[in-house]
Chain A
Amino acid sequence: MSVRMEKVGDSGLQLPLVNMTPGALLARLALLLIVVLWTLPTFGLFISSFRDKDLLSFSGWWTALSVTERGEAARTGTDEDQVEENGAWFIRGEVFQPGEKEIQAFGIRSTEPEVYAPGESADLGDGVTLTVQADGRYELRSPVEFDMSRGRRIYFRAAVPPKFTLANYGEVVASEGVDQAFINTFTVTIPSTIIPIAIAAFAAYAFSWTEFPGRQLLFAVVVGLLVVPLQMSLIPLLRFYNQVSHILPFFEAKSYPGIWLAHTGFGLPLAIFLLRNYIAGLPKEIIESARIDGASHFQTFTRLILPLSMPALASFAIFQFLWVWNDLLVALVFLSKDLDQIVMTSQLRELLGSRGDNWEILTSSAFVSIVVPLIVFFALQRYFVRGLLAGSVKGG
Chain B
Amino acid sequence: MERLINAIVAIVFGVGLMLLYFYGSNWLLDRLLPDRGLVDGVFQSREKQRERIRPWLFVAPALVILGIYLVYPALQTLFLSFFDSDGEAFVGLANYGRALGDSRFLESIRNNILWLLVVPSFSVVFGLLIAVLADRVSWGNIAKSLIFMPMAISFVGASVIWKFVYAINPDIGFLNAIYTSGGNEAVDVLQIPFWNSFFLMAILVWIQTGFAMVLLSAALRGVPEETLEAARIDGANEVQTFFRIMVPQIMGTIFVVWTTIVITVLKVFDIVLAMTNGNWNTQVMANLMFDQMFRAFDTGYASFLALVIMVAVVPIMVVNIRRMNREEAMR
Contacts and interface: CB of A to CB of B under 8 A. Distances in A.
Contacts of A225: 66, 70-71
Nearest to A369: B157
Nearest to B273: A349
Contacts of A370: 152-154, 157
Interface in A191-216: 191, 194-195, 198-200, 202-203, 205-207, 210-212, 215
Contacts of A396: 155, 263-264, 267-269
B33 to A, nearest CB: 11
A247 interface: no
A39 interface: yes
A58 B171 contact: yes
A34 B129 contact: yes
B61 A234 contact: no
Contacts of B303: 235
Interface in A38-53: 38-42, 44-45, 48
A85 to B, nearest CB: 43
A231 B309 contact: yes
Contacts of B22: 198, 202
Nearest to B87: A239
B52 interface: yes
A340 B26 CA distance: 36
Contacts of A251: none
B177 A60 contact: yes
Given A195-B18, A232-B77, A348-B156, A388 B214 contact: yes
Contacts of B11: 186-187, 190-191
Contacts of A384: 152
Interface stretch (A22-30, A92-100, A309-317): A22-30
Contact of A206 (B4, B55, B163): B55
Interface stretch (B94-102, B106-114, B312-320): B312-320
Contacts of A369: 154, 156-157
Contacts of A277: 328
Interface string B140-170: 1101111111111111110111111101011
Contacts of A198: 18-19, 22
Q: Of B50, B63, B160, B211, which is in contact with the most chain A CB atoms at under 10 Å from its CB? A: B160
Interface in A1-42: 1, 3-4, 6, 23-24, 27-28, 30-31, 34-35, 38-42
A223 B321 contact: yes
A261 interface: yes
A268 interface: yes
A326 B309 CA distance: 21
Nearest to B218: A389
B14 A3 contact: no
B233 interface: no
A60 B167 CA distance: 11
A148 interface: no
A48 B218 CA distance: 36
B152 A374 contact: yes
A233 B209 contact: no
Nearest to B265: A396
A344 B4 CA distance: 16
Contacts of B18: 194-195, 198-199
Contacts of B152: 322, 370, 373-374, 376-377, 384
B209 to A, nearest CB: 7
Given A60-B177, A260-B14, A325-B154, A45 B72 contact: no
Contacts of B63: 203, 218
Contacts of B206: 38, 41
A235 B74 CA distance: 9
B293 to A, nearest CB: 6
A233 B70 contact: yes
B154 A35 contact: no
B112 to A, nearest CB: 13
B76 interface: yes
B93 interface: no
Given A34-B147, A38-B147, A27 B62 contact: no
Interface of B: 3-4, 7, 10-11, 14-15, 18-19, 22, 26, 30, 47, 50-52, 54-56, 58-59, 61-63, 65-66, 68-74, 76-77, 80, 87, 126, 129-130, 133-138, 140-141, 143-157, 159-165, 167, 169-172, 174, 177, 206, 209, 211, 214-215, 217-218, 221, 238, 256, 260, 263-264, 266-270, 273-274, 286, 289-290, 293-294, 299, 302-303, 306-307, 309-310, 313-314, 317-318, 320-321, 324-325, 328, 331
29 contacts: A24-B136, A28-B137, A38-B147, A41-B164, A42-B153, A45-B161, A60-B171, A62-B174, A183-B7, A195-B15, A202-B59, A218-B59, A222-B62, A225-B70, A226-B317, A232-B307, A235-B299, A240-B72, A261-B69, A268-B62, A269-B70, A296-B26, A340-B3, A348-B154, A370-B153, A374-B149, A374-B152, A388-B211, A392-B260
Given A199-B62, A210-B51, A294-B47, 10 more contacts: A34-B147, A44-B161, A191-B15, A212-B55, A226-B317, A232-B77, A322-B152, A328-B155, A352-B160, A381-B148
4 closest Cβ pairs, A-B complex: A265-B69, A326-B154, A236-B76, A377-B152
